[in-house]
């Protein structure tokens, strides 16, 4: 009887319309989400505890698998004949930009997962949740980087953020972690609402949420009253500003960075920021390039404020996590300088900076996670005194990573700053370049203070203490240091990758894709 029913249904003459999906283009996201659900299922179904470290290993393998899946995508989008393509009814764009950002985000996942492993065991919190949350968060980040539609970008942002709220509040025995979680959540939700309202206004002004259609509409139409679009852009900028911790929307960052579990912070500072900037570039540089004369001055002010806040306020801090929180604000300002240029060189510089920065900052927070003590405490500057004696190799690696953040030559951080400065000067923003370099000097003082604590403790060093270095955390440190130093000597490879990672605007190009709304845009 079932068979006959099946027969009857199969013979149904009307096929159901469905959106054509280029599954290969979505493979990295699929692997991340599927892997996260799989880990979650295994964790709840397997009665016995798995060997410690197996979740971390699984996470690293999943991220690596997603990278492998992204390699053919890169080859395809770089291929002159095939090129970038849009899929999911033009809502997702697979181009050099999105694949590059995917690689960076996945690297951040790997580094943070390696850092999580030993940290979780020290805190006796062994479980799959942080890994699952991070994988989901990463999938949101990848979605943001490849969003070709503002709604998809909003969804990516929320998938990214909601998981991170939990990651921040994860340490149940530590009140500051909860506090960080609540603060991050309330302000994050607040900024998401602004972001969404911005999308609504832009939708009202242009008649679409699709980036391609917005761009086409804006270049074809001279708006008599662009108030709606401009207000929408401003609100979007508020939302992005919160996510990337740009002043004046930065104030949550120091508190959250200090309170949240350190490996979560490694992810927040690297992956979340990359995704935020990827989204920012896509929306502003691509879709609203016709409005650049309107938004460039705003970004200019934001960049100056962000760099100043990030460098000056860092000087007075005494907690290393807070110091690095402010320094990451300073880095965000630098990337905004590249965004402000609004040129291909600017995008290249921003991507190079994000890639280099991810390894520096994830490595740095990895060190902090190792040096802190049980209960995730011991992150004040005093706790670093004598580190060069207790753990000379870790101290030296940390010093190199900090110098890289300061932009000392022969490290990736130097080239990152160099490319940003070059892009800014080429775009005629020499003032911004000068301000940027001055703030770089101010914030280098912060890094030097940490180095002084490690190396210049003098005669009144505290009693020696043993600092265990878990193998996974050591591996993360080796990876981030290797990348930082080798890119510092031979930046050409990464620079040319970043150069080829151009974001593009093309309507859905895979054959058979269905345009769901035949409605022409415009009120």
Partner 1 sequence: MLPTLLAELSAQNVVTTPLTQAVVLPFLGAIVVSLIPRGRAELHRVVALLFAVGTGALTLSLLAGFDRQDSGFQFQVNRVWISDFGISWHLGIDGISLFLVVLSGFLFPLAMVAVAPSHDPKPYYAWLLVLQGGCIGVFCALDLFVFFVMFEIVLVPMYFLILGWGYADRVYAALKFFIFTMFGSALMLVGIVALTFLNRDGVVEANQARVATIQSEMATVQASQGLSGPDTPVDPAIAASLAAGEARIERLLNPKLNFDLVTIAESQTVTDTSTGASPFDWGAARWIFLAFALAFAVKVPLFPLHTWLPDAHTQAPTAGSVILAGVMLKLGTYGFVRFGLYLLPEPSVFFAPALVTLGVIGIIYGAVVATMQKDLKRLVAYSSVAHLGFIILGIFALTTVSIEGGVVQMFNHGISTGALFLLVGMIYERRHTRDISSLKGLQKSAPILAAVFTLVMLSSIGLPGLNGFVGEFLVLVGSFLTRRWFTVVAAAGVVLAALYLLWAFQRVFHGEPDEENADMADMNWREGLVMAPLLVLIVFLGVYPKPMLDRIEPAVARLVSHVENHSDYTEPAVATTGVGVDAPGEDGG
Partner 2 sequence: MIAIAQVTPVWYLVLASVVFAIGAVGLLVRRNPLVMFMCVELMLNAVTLTFVTFSRMLNDVNGQTVVVFVLVVAAAEVVVGLGIIVALLRKQPSATADDLTVLKG
Residues that bind partner 1 (CB under 8 A): 403, 406, 408-410, 414, 417-418, 421-422, 425-426, 430, 433-434, 437-438, 440-441, 444-445, 448-449, 451-452, 455-456, 458, 490-492, 495-496, 499
Closer residue to partner 2 (CB): 264 or 358: 264
Size of the site for partner 2 (CB under 8 A): 49
Determine if 204 is a binding residue for partner 2 (CB under 8 A).
Answer: yes
Q: Which residues of 340-368 are buried (b: 16+ CB within 10 A; e: fewer)?
A: bbbbebbbbbbbbbbbbbbbbbbbbbbbb
User: Of these partners, partner 1, partner 2, none, which one is at the site of residue 166 (CB under 5 to 8 Å by kind)?
Assistant: partner 2
By CB under 8 A, the residues from 313 to 352 that bind partner 2 are 317-319, 322
Structural tokens at position 190: 């607040």
**Cα-based torsion angle of the residue sequence 415, 416, 418, 419 in order, rounded to the nearest 10 degrees:** 110
User: Could you give the CA distance from residue 274 to residue 109 in angstroms, rounded to a whole number?
Assistant: 12
User: Of these partners, partner 2, partner 1, none, which one is at the site of residue 425 (CB under 5 to 8 Å by kind)?
Assistant: partner 1
The distance of closest approach from Cβ of residue 366 to partner 1 in the complex, given in angstroms and rounded to an integer, is 22
Chain-centroid distance, C-alpha 163: 13
Closer residue to partner 2 (CB): 88 or 351: 88
User: Could you give the CA distance from residue 329 to residue 438 in angstroms, rounded to a whole number?
Assistant: 15
The residues pairing with 87 across neighbouring beta strands, listed in sequence order, are 92
User: Of these partners, partner 2, partner 1, none, which one is at the site of residue 6 (CB under 5 to 8 Å by kind)?
Assistant: none
User: Of these partners, partner 2, partner 1, none, which one is at the site of residue 186 (CB under 5 to 8 Å by kind)?
Assistant: partner 2
Closer residue to partner 2 (CB): 258 or 262: 258
The distance of closest approach from Cβ of residue 391 to partner 1 in the complex, given in angstroms and rounded to an integer, is 13
Closer residue to partner 1 (CB): 162 or 406: 406
User: Could you give the CA distance from residue 276 to residue 328 in angstroms, rounded to a whole number?
Assistant: 14
100, 185, 240, 249: which one binds partner 2 (CB under 8 A): 185
Cβ contact 115:366 at 8 Å: yes
Q: Sketch the per residue contact string, 135 through 174, with partner 2: x for CB under 8 A, - otherwise.
A: ----------------x--xx--x---x--xx--x--x--
Closer residue to partner 2 (CB): 262 or 429: 262
CA distances from 428 to 102, 304, 305, 338, 431 (A): 31, 16, 19, 12, 8
Task: Go through the chain and tell me how many residues it has.
Answer: 523
User: Of these partners, partner 2, partner 1, none, which one is at the site of residue 254 (CB under 5 to 8 Å by kind)?
Assistant: partner 2
By CB under 8 A, the residues from 457 to 516 that bind partner 2 are 516
35, 130, 141, 254: which one binds partner 2 (CB under 8 A): 254
41, 68, 193, 471: which one binds partner 2 (CB under 8 A): 193
User: Could you give the CA distance from residue 348 to residue 338 in angstroms, rounded to a whole number?
Assistant: 8
The pairing of beta strand 85-87 with beta strand 92-94? antiparallel
Determine if 197 is a binding residue for partner 2 (CB under 8 A).
Answer: yes
Structural tokens at position 161: 């953020």
What is residue 248's three-state secondary structure? coil
DSSP assignment of 252-306 equals HHHHHHHHS-HHHHHHIIIIIHHHHHHHHIIIIIIITGGGHHHHHHHHHHHHHHH
The distance of closest approach from Cβ of residue 310 to partner 1 in the complex, given in angstroms and rounded to an integer, is 16
The distance of closest approach from Cβ of residue 432 to partner 1 in the complex, given in angstroms and rounded to an integer, is 10
By CB under 8 A, the residues from 207 to 236 that bind partner 2 are 207-209
The distance of closest approach from Cβ of residue 455 to partner 1 in the complex, given in angstroms and rounded to an integer, is 5
Cβ contact 428:345 at 8 Å: no
**For the chain, how big is the Rg over CA atoms in Å?**
23
Q: Which of 260, 257, 272, 276 lies closest to 314 in space, CA to CA?
A: 257
The distance of closest approach from Cβ of residue 254 to partner 2 in the complex, given in angstroms and rounded to an integer, is 7
Instruction: Give the helix ranges, DSSP H, for 51-149.
Output: 54-78, 96-122, 129-145
The distance of closest approach from Cβ of residue 443 to partner 2 in the complex, given in angstroms and rounded to an integer, is 17
37, 41, 189, 514: which one binds partner 2 (CB under 8 A): 189
The distance of closest approach from Cβ of residue 496 to partner 1 in the complex, given in angstroms and rounded to an integer, is 7
35, 181, 386, 407: which one binds partner 2 (CB under 8 A): 181
Cβ contact 59:135 at 8 Å: yes
54, 78, 178, 502: which one binds partner 2 (CB under 8 A): 178
Structural tokens at position 182: 């609540």
Closer residue to partner 1 (CB): 231 or 408: 408
Q: Which residues of 479-518 are buried (b: 16+ CB within 10 A; e: fewer)?
A: bbbebbbebbeebeebbebbbebbbbbeebbeeebeeeee
User: Of these partners, partner 1, partner 2, none, which one is at the site of residue 410 (CB under 5 to 8 Å by kind)?
Assistant: partner 1
Closer residue to partner 1 (CB): 448 or 467: 448
User: Of these partners, partner 2, partner 1, none, which one is at the site of residue 180 (CB under 5 to 8 Å by kind)?
Assistant: partner 2
Interacting residues toward partner 2 by CB under 8 A: 151, 154-155, 158, 162, 165-166, 169, 172, 175-176, 178-183, 185-186, 189-190, 192-194, 196-197, 199-201, 203-204, 207-209, 254-256, 258-259, 317-319, 322, 516-517, 519, 521-523
């Amino acid at each position: 009887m079932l068979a006959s029913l099946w027969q009857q249904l199969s013979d149904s003459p009307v096929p159901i319309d469905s959106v054509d999906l280029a599954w290969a283009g979505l493979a990295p996201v699929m692997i991340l989400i599927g892997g996260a659900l799989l880990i979650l299922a295994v964790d709840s179904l397997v009665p016995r505890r798995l060997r410690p470290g197996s979740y971390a290993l699984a996470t690293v393998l999943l991220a690596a698998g997603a990278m492998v899946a992204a390699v053919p995508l890169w080859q395809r989008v770089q291929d002159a004949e095939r090129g970038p393509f849009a899929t999911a009814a033009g809502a997702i764009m697979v181009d050099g930009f999105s694949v590059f950002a995917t690689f960076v985000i996945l690297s951040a996942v790997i580094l943070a997962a390696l850092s999580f492993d030993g940290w979780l065991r020290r805190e006796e919190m062994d479980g799959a949740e942080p890994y699952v949350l991070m994988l989901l968060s990463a999938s949101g980040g990848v979605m943001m980087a490849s969003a070709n539609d503002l709604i998809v970008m909003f969804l990516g942002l929320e998938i990214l953020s909601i998981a991170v709220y939990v990651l921040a509040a994860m340490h149940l025995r530590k009140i500051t972690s909860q506090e960080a979680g609540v603060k991050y959540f309330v302000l994050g939700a607040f900024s998401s609402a602004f972001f969404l309202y911005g999308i609504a206004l832009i939708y009202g002004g242009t008649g679409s949420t699709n980036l391609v259609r917005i761009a086409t509409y804006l270049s074809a139409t001279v708006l008599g009253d662009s108030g709606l679009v401009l207000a929408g852009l401003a609100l979007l900028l508020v939302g992005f500003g919160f996510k990337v911790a740009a002043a004046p929307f930065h104030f949550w960052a120091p508190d959250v960075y200090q309170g949240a579990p350190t490996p979560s912070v490694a992810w927040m500072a690297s992956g979340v920021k990359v995704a935020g900037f990827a989204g920012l570039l896509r929306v502003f540089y691509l879709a609203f390039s016709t409005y650049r004369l309107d938004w460039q001055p705003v970004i200019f002010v934001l960049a100056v404020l962000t760099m100043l806040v990030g460098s000056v306020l860092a000087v007075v801090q005494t907690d290393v996590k807070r110091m690095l929180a402010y320094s990451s604000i300073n880095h965000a300002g630098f990337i905004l300088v590249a965004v402000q240029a609004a040129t291909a060189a600017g995008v290249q510089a921003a991507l190079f900076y994000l890639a280099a920065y991810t390894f520096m900052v994830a490595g740095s927070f990895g060190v902090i996670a190792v040096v802190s003590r049980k209960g995730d405490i011991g992150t004040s500057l005093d706790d670093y005194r004598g580190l060069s004696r207790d753990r000379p190799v870790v101290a030296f690696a940390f010093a190199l990573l900090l110098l890289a953040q300061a932009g000392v030559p022969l490290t990736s951080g130097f080239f990152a700053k160099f490319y940003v400065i070059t892009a800014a000067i080429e775009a005629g923003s020499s003032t911004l370049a000068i301000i940027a370099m001055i703030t770089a000097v101010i914030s280098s003082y912060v890094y030097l203070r940490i180095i002084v604590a490690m190396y210049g403790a003098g005669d009144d060093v505290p009693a020696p203490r043993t600092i265990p270095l878990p193998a996974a955390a050591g591996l993360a440190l080796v990876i981030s240091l290797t990348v930082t130093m080798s890119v510092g000597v031979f930046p050409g490879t990464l620079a040319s990758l970043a150069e080829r990672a151009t974001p593009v605007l093309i309507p859905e190009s895979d054959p058979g894709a269905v345009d769901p709304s035949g409605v022409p845009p415009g009120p």
